[in-house]
Amino acid sequence: MRERASRISCPACRNDTYMKREPRYEGFKKVGETLSCVDCGHVFEDEESAPAAMNPALSVFSDDDRSKQVRVFDDGEQARICRYCEHYVLNPFTQRCDLHNRETEATDTCEDFDRKEESDKASE
């Protein structure tokens, strides 16, 4: 089973970060999931109590300096998605973010996005 990280805006450490899901067991029976912030370990009651980073409208605090970071899709057809990022690593088994050292998907977005140089220097 693989863990899927959701992007959140953590109210505890105020980072745009990821939510960690860990199965919770009572004995051998899975009784639910523990949702926590990967940065500070803040535990969320449920999915609704973790504000999604992609939706600043859900943010409970003022967007002073973070408004710069949430401009995700403003440069036209080439969005800041992982497949255009230089930290995106595609290998036969998985897609990874080299920067965050985690699994990612080509359509994931990230504020640490670094556009990959599309250099066509095939002949060198």
Count interface residues toward Zn ion (CB under 5 A): 7
Task: Pick one of 5, 6, 7, 39: the residue that binds Zn ion (CB under 5 A).
Answer: 39
Q: Are 104 and 94 in contact (CB under 8 A)?
A: no
49 part of the interface to Zn ion, by CB under 5 A: no
Q: Facing residues of 23 across strands?
A: 33
40 part of the interface to Zn ion, by CB under 5 A: yes
Q: Facing residues of 85 across strands?
A: 115
Task: Pick one of 12, 58, 90, 106: the residue that binds Zn ion (CB under 5 A).
Answer: 12
* Sheet strands (E) in 1-86: 6-9, 16-26, 29-37, 43-44
Backbone angles phi, psi at 90, to 5 degrees: -105, 125
42 part of the interface to Zn ion, by CB under 5 A: yes
The alpha carbon dihedral of 26, 37, 101, 2 has a sign of: positive
Single out the segment in contact with Zn ion by CB under 5 A; choices: 13-21, 47-55, 85-93, 109-117.
13-21
Single out the segment in contact with Zn ion by CB under 5 A; choices: 30-38, 44-52, 67-75, 106-114.
30-38
- Give the interface with Zn ion as residue ranges (CB under 5 A): 10, 12-13, 37, 39-40, 42
